Structure 1
Amino acid sequence: MSGGVTGPLLYAVAAAVMGMLQFGFNTGVINSPRDFIEEFIRQNGNPDNASLMFSVIVAIFPVGGMIGCPVASWLAEKRGRKQALFLNAAFGVIGAAFMGFSKVSSSVSMLIVGRFFIGINCGFATTASPTYVSEMAPVTLRGALGTVNQLAVAFGLVGGQILGIGAILGSAEGWPWLLGLAVIPSAVQCMMLPFAPETPRYLLLAMKDEQKARETLIQIRASNTVDDEINDMYAEDRAEKEQQQFSIKDLFKISSLRTPLMIGIVMHLSQQWGGINAVLYFSYTIFTSAGLGEEPARMASIGVGSILFIMALVSIPLMDRLGRRTLQLWGLGGMAVFSVLMTVALQTKNNQTMSIFAVIFTLMYVAFFGVGPSSIPWMILSELFGQGARSAAVSVGALVNWFANFIVGLTFIPMKDALQEYVFIPYTILLLLFFVYTYFKLPETKNKTIEEVTVLFK
């Protein structure tokens, strides 16, 4: 049986998704130590704009991500998937070191540069890791192993939030160690990748080394019968070369491509501008505003990551059973409802019962995000476009996602200062607009071939 799970395959997948764990860790880790980082900023030359500088430290991470995505595509084609992942992991060690040693060096700039570097590392991983995993997996397991990327993100997020509680590293002395722990996923990846193979697809089609591709397939499939898979790769490559290739400029110029591109862009915007990263980056701030003490707020933040992890597991069987459109609508609608309830609960922050409800409503908001908007934007563009335009469309989607992430990271604290307990109202309005757009524009792609989907836009 050449299509099952084997030890070498699992090892290779584990080595690759360390980069996605890094992404989750650095999304969640900045949350709890906000007070200590702002004090560090005040002590090192920025006493009047500590909150603004903290927003910059948060927002510089997705700026790095916007750079990392296209660099990953280029380097993975030039140097191979495995070597690209290895070089990125080594770069991640440098970014983590900058953050970890920023306090010892009394340098806010080192902290900002470290977050920027680790953002490049994570943006790179969000492109390179899924590519490696999909090219290593047999067709029958491609969907299941693809979800391992989302699970790794959620696991890293929870890990960062747990380590950020006061009893561990969420303290004035511990926060540099907390951020510096980002060195571990990158270092582990550096140690694992030399023993993982290059993808058979890259060896066969880019390196033209059929013998090496065959040896790798035999190793990761634990089977000598790999001729069919080799032939399938050749057939896919021939079909791809026969298809017209479209550039990013073509996507905007050609009507039949522009419509699905706009749908994909709106899906990516809905993921970020629905306010989820406001919760992931600033849940500690939200919970203290709701009247919780510092330590209960940190514990409640762990629940945010835990809910995301659970929903990543729950959504796997639902995706093919209920369909992308249905789950996206349920997700956006549920987020809109609970963002309104969060706003109501924040009005009565001196009431202990309502503080608890504020936490419950926030967790439900995150749960509905996990139902659909968490993963569907990342998969929908590959299902709306044929082979010739898919790569360009996915690149645009990733860039839009990181840019929208940057806007949320930069604007949430100023918005919160201006709107106070009404801070989620703008996100609620956007969620309702995204719901309406999705209802009228997003076709169902479940059980449809690419040809059946693309003909809808012609």
Structure 2
Amino acid sequence: MQSDNSRGLLRKNDPSQKMAGGVTGVLLYAVSAAVLGMLQFGFNTGVINAPRPFIENFISTQYDVNPGTIFSVIVSIFAVGGMIGCPFASWMLEKYGRKNALVVNSMIGVLGAIFMGFSKLANSVEMIIIGRFIIGVNCGFATTASPTYVSEVAPVRLRGAFGTVNQLAVAFGLVGAQILGIDMIMGSDEGWPWLLGLAIFPSAIQFVMIIFAPESPRYLLLVARDEETARAELAKIRGTNEIDDEINDMHVEDRAARQEEKFSILDLFKIKALRQPLIIGIVMHLSQQLGGINAVLYYSTTIFVNAGLTQENARLSSIGVGSMLFIMALVSIPLMDRLGRRTLQLVGLAGMALFSVLMTVAFFTYNDNTTMSIFAVIFTFLYVAFFGVGPSSIPWMLLSELFGQGARSAAVSVGALVNWFANFIVGLTFIPMSDAFGNYVFLPYTVLLVLFFIFTYLQLPETKNRTIEEVTALFKK
């Protein structure tokens, strides 16, 4: 029989055990707990879509106003919460740690879900608005906190792959919300409050899971300055005690970051070499939202009804919208480093512009023509597919690749704020635009998509296979 020491030595030198420094059960558990916040984001983006007529009926019983106006507020207040949640997350992550920040955010999500779920029982439209605002704070927080935690617990060589899990979680939450919103499940006058209230589950499950998840070793080592605990947590996550190289890499990165000059948000606008990449990043974020994608995600059921489908078929078709996003999230993973960011962004914007025109043609010519109604759905799916090719994820990646360590945090914060603000504008204005333009409602988005394509073609450099130093040098010339 082997002694404990000899068994320990064998484990230490076992190549298969070193591989445990890649994917381990603890790592998968930690990532699963974190991305529940992104699933929550996807769920609450899609959940408001199907129950619109029931919520508007509820609004009509409370107020003698145009229910569509208040429904626009219910939709768009979610993005206002997101604008608050992003900077709140940045502060919490640094002040109290990644794990504690995620615990607090899960409690915010539970509170928002309670407000929405009991709104009809309390005969209060205000509770829906408050709940949507709170859940928006939760989701804005998650879009900052979840990717940060995931990137810090994942091994460097797997960081990109685990990063895509965030996008998959968003798409999965979106599809789940649309499936639950069909007539035979919760798409009814009795079921819609509970449909909104289901948001309690991702947050409640995350609350329980994150308590038992490890803290980010990077936070413990570089922010909390607790190397002993950082080593213990990293060994647990990697499944091996051979972590010296990774700890040393963190120290090297930290020393380099400390030597690099720090830039504030104001500096980004004042310094020419930083202002140009910032403008590019801002326009990329605007192209993601002002291309009209959230008009589809928030209102696809309404769009399909206007194209001649029945309410039931429109809700079923909306499931295809979320499913297409999920599929494209998987497809775009291998394309990202093969074709490059610039190419995929241009292809995505061009495809969205083309199919937004074809959607308009189909909406305008259907006139109870079943064939054109079907084409309207197909063109909408393809519009969403091209969004998934590039504009879905590339704007979030670019700011990290256009800026050095000293300016990256400020640039990403500006990008997130712009993204949520544009999201708010689309959510608030789509119904008034639909009333004003009718079947031509997507043409303003088409014009913007063409302008974004031209700007991208002229201004966006390719960042594939280029170091941060090489990219930033382009803007200093």
Normalising by the residue count of structure 2, what TM-score does the alignment of the two structures yield?
0.95
Is 2:412 the partner of 1:400? no
Q: Which residue of 1 aligns with 2:174?
A: 157
Distance 1:300 1:98 in 2: 29
Matches of 1:370 and 1:75 in 2, distance apart?
A: 31
Which residue is equivalent to 1:357?
Answer: 375
Give yes or no for contact 2:21–2:240 (8 Å, CA) kept in 1. no
Paired residues of 1:3 and 1:141 also in contact (CA < 8 A): no
For residues 202-351 of structure 1, what are the structure 2 equivalents within 5 Å?
202-349=219-366, 350-351=368-369
User: Shift of the alpha carbon at 1:48?
Assistant: 2.5
Residues 1:435 and 2:453 are matched in the alignment: yes
Matched AA of 1:367:
A
Which residue, out of 3, 26, 36, partners 2:54?
36
The answer to whether the 8 Å contact 1:257/1:457 transfers is yes
2:13 aligned residue: none
What per-residue deviation string (whole Å, max 9, x for no partner) do you get for residues 183-238 of structure 1?
Answer: 00000001101110100001111111111111111111111110000000011110
Runs of 4+ in structure 1 over 6 Å off:
none
| 2:205 equivalent among 180, 188, 209 | 188
Given that 2:29 and 2:213 are in contact with CA atoms closer than 8 Å, whether structure 1 keeps it comes out as yes
CA contact (8 A) 2:231 2:243 kept: yes
Alignment of 1:16-95 (within 5 A): 16-44=34-62, 46-95=63-112
Q: How far did residue 352 of structure 1 move?
A: 0.5
1:10 aligns with 2:28: yes
Q: Is the 8 A contact 1:3 1:139 kept in 2?
A: no
> What percentage of residue pairs aligned between the two structures are identical?
74
Q: Deviations over 1:80-104 (max 9, x none)?
A: 0000000000111000000000000
Q: Which amino acid aligns with 1:433?
A: L
Q: Which residue of 149, 152, 155 maps to 1:135?
A: 152
1:109 aligns with 2:131: no
SS at match of 2:432: helix
SS in 1 for 2:286: helix
Offset at residue 3 of structure 1 (A) = 3.9
- The answer (yes or no) to whether the contact 2:286–2:419 under 8 Å persists in 1 is yes
Q: How many Å separate the matches in 2 of 1:208 and 1:392?
A: 23
RMSD: 0.6
Distance across 2 between alignment mates of 1:48 and 1:226: 63
Q: Deviations over 1:318-368 (max 9, x none)?
A: 000000000000000000000000000001232100000000000000000
Query: Within 2, Cα distance between the matches of 1:195 and 1:48?
Result: 48
Residue type of the alignment partner of 1:191: V
- Residue identity in the other structure for 1:451: E
Instruction: Report the counterpart of residue 445 of structure 1 in structure 2.
Output: 463
- Tell me which amino acid in the other structure corresponds to 2:452: F
Secondary structure of 1:105's counterpart equals: coil
Alignment match, 1:120? 137
Counterpart residue type for residue 35 of structure 1: P
Q: Select which of 151, 158, 179 maps to 2:196.
A: 179
> What is the total number of aligned residue pairs between the two structures?
457
Q: Distance in 2 between matches of 1:47 and 1:20?
A: 37
Tell me if the contact between 1:3 and 1:140 (Cα under 8 Å) persists in the aligned partners.
Answer: no
Q: What's the counterpart of residue 11 of structure 2? A: none
Instruction: Give how far 1:429 is off.
Output: 0.1
1:146-196 deviations in whole A, cap 9, x for unaligned? 000000000000000000000000000000000000000000001101110
Q: Distance in 2 between matches of 1:114 and 1:165?
A: 22
Amino acid at match of 2:460: L
> In the aligned structure 2, how far is the partner of 1:134 from the partner of 1:76?
13
Contact residue 268 and residue 397 of structure 1 kept, 8 A? yes
Whether contact under 8 Å (2:76, 2:425) holds in the other structure is yes
Looking at structure 2, the residues matched to 288 and 3 of structure 1 have their Cα atoms a distance apart, in angstroms, of: 51
- Work out which of the two has the higher radius of gyration on C-alpha atoms and give 1 or 2: 2
Contact 1:69 1:123 in 2 (8 A): yes
Return the TM-score normalized by structure 1. 0.99
Matched-pair contact (CA < 8 Å) for 1:247–1:389: yes
- Describe the SS at the equivalent of 2:237: helix
Q: 1:102-145 CA distances to partner (integer Å, 9 max, x unpaired)?
A: 00000000110000000000000000000000000110000000
Inter-partner Cα distance in structure 2 for 1:257 and 1:451: 13
Letter in 1 for 2:337: D
Deviation sequence 1:399-445 (CA, Å, 0-9, x none): 00000000000000000000000000000000000000000000000
Checking the alignment, whether the CA contact within 8 Å between 2:50 and 2:187 is kept in structure 1 is: yes
Distance in 1 (CA, whole Å) between partners of 2:101 and 2:233 is 18
Could you tell me which residue of structure 2 aligns to residue 368 of structure 1? 386
Aligned counterpart in structure 2 of residue 386 of structure 1, from 387, 396, 404 = 404
Question: Partner amino acid for 2:29?
Answer: Y
* 2:455 match: secondary structure: helix
Asked whether the 8 Å contact 2:287–2:391 carries over to 1, the reply is: yes
